[in-house]
Amino acid sequence: MKLELSVWTHHLTHLVYSYFYYCKVNKAHVNIVHNQKVNHNTALLTVNNKLVVFDYSDDTKFIGDPDNYDFYFKRSLLKKDKKDNVFNLNFNVPMAYKSHMLLLNLKKDFLFYKFNKTEVLRALDRFALFANSGHGILDIRRYPNKVLDYGGNILYYTRLWNPDNHPDKEEKERRMIQNEFRINACRVLKKEFKNASVGLYSDKLSNIMAPDLVLPNNKSNKKKYLKELSVYNIGIADDGLKNSPGWKIGEYLLYGKAVVSTPLNISIEGFREHKNYEKLSSRSSFDELPEKVSFLLKDKKYLEMGENNFEWSSKYLHPKNYMNRILKIVNENI
């Protein structure tokens, strides 16, 4: 079973470590190959003489032509684009597993390829001393193994995206709407709930648009954020770039948190409203947040949803089942 990449990007971390996890558990050969013909933010798996492509783009547009492959798995997959050989990848999560051991299993040309440098350094950075998201702190073995009650407290740390940094008119408008939601969501939650911790990651744009919401530097660190996340029960999420779910929501699920989110525009297998998340009516409905959160707080519904999400993430996100699901789909459709 061969996995080919042109560049090891952060988008592909979930797949790379899930593949490594599968190989180690099943005592299979780790065969990660550097192939510059593979598209950026995609990976190619050869298994049982079948070609399986993984498309981890934020965009709902296909990076490659699905007809050129036996199986096409896409992260940001619209329901209308599902067809016989096209399957969804669900949420993407930056996670890791025994990162130092992974490096020992990589071929030299892949390990020392200059554009893989960032992820290799993150893999080496066990305690996130130099990289904000060192893979040591993202090791799946550090994640919670059960759901605990912390009183229904609410967490929403987010960032703004500068519309002026993108040339596309549609994306500029999307970022303006996104920023408006994030700023107002923080303010509404802060006003209505004493047990809500909210804020914007510090950068030039956040300090101009909403200086009252800027988080201190010690809360912008990934290690501190995940530690903070572990002791909250309800996470707020919204669309990321290209109207696709950001990575934040996947972290909420792996940590067994209840979720309130803007509408999900892509296909997510087995992920249901009221069971796995409470849905706002639109991309701009920050004023609905108090009602949705209050619903989860009543009779501690957030605990039931947290359990549902912990179970869902174990089946669809955790590396112990991530590759198993993909290989099951491949084997059932050969």
Question: What pLDDT is attached to residue 221?
Answer: 83
pLDDT band of 311, cuts 50, 70, 90: very high
pLDDT of 127 higher than 80? no
13-25 and 319-332 are packed helices; what angle lies between their axes, rounded to 10 degrees? Answer: 80
Which pLDDT score is estimated for 170?
87
pLDDT at 321: 97
Q: What does the pLDDT read at residue 242?
A: 78
Check residue 131 and give its pLDDT.
66
Q: How far apart are CA 263 and CA 281, in angstroms?
A: 7
Q: How many CB atoms lie within 10 A of CB 202?
A: 17
Q: Using only the alpha carbons of the chain, give its radius of gyration.
A: 20
How far is Cα 126 from Cα 136, in angstroms, rounded to an integer? 4
The sheet with strand 196-200 has its strands ordered as: 196-200, 154-158, 234-237, 258-261, 278-279
Question: Tell me, what's the pLDDT at 107?
Answer: 96
At residue 220, the pLDDT reads: 77
- Does residue 134 or residue 324 have the better pLDDT? 324
* pLDDT digits 0-9 by tens, 237-287: 998 877 788 889 999 999 999 999 999 989 999 999 999 999 999 999 999
| pLDDT (tens digit per residue) in 84-93 | 999 999 999 9
| pLDDT tens digits for range 52-99 | 999 999 999 999 999 999 999 999 999 999 989 999 999 999 899 999
